[in-house]
């Protein structure tokens, strides 16, 4: 039974899942909009919200925590400079998921995840 198991595995090993989420959150924060599958978008939403919350804290420790997860220093600077001021009065819910249809090859449901 799967009681009290929180991690969505997405059919990947833990190292693959971690690397994929790091790349996806970096791309989302850089381009502010990406298209991916529904399941990946739902997992990515929580990670992206945590990174923006770190940006709102603005401390050195928060910046180092974000740099340990986000792959690009420029994107981390964008989170701490631009996005933190944009969402300063918002208490969570920084992303929006919009269903966009199905993928051509395997008919997987696709979603567009974007910053609000």
**pLDDT tens per residue across all 116 residues of the chain:** 989 988 899 999 999 999 999 999 999 999 999 999 999 999 999 999 999 999 999 999 999 999 999 999 999 999 999 999 999 999 999 999 999 999 999 999 999 999 99
pTM: 0.92
Helix orientation angle between 60-69 and 38-57, rounded to the nearest 10 degrees: 160
Q: Which has the closest alpha carbon to 93: 108, 68, 77, 114?
A: 114
């Amino acid at each position: 039974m799967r009681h009290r198991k929180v991690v969505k595995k997405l059919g990947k090993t833990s190292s693959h899942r971690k690397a994929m989420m790091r790349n996806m959150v970096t791309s989302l924060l850089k381009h502010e909009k990406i298209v991916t599958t529904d399941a990946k978008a739902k997992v990515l939403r929580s990670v992206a919200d945590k990174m923006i919350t770190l940006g709102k804290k603005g401390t050195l420790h928060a910046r180092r925590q974000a740099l340990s997860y986000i792959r690009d220093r420029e994107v981390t600077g964008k989170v701490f400079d631009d996005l933190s001021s944009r969402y300063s009065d918002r208490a969570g819910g920084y992303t929006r998921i919009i269903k966009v249809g199905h993928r051509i090859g395997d008919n997987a449901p696709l979603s567009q995840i974007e910053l609000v």
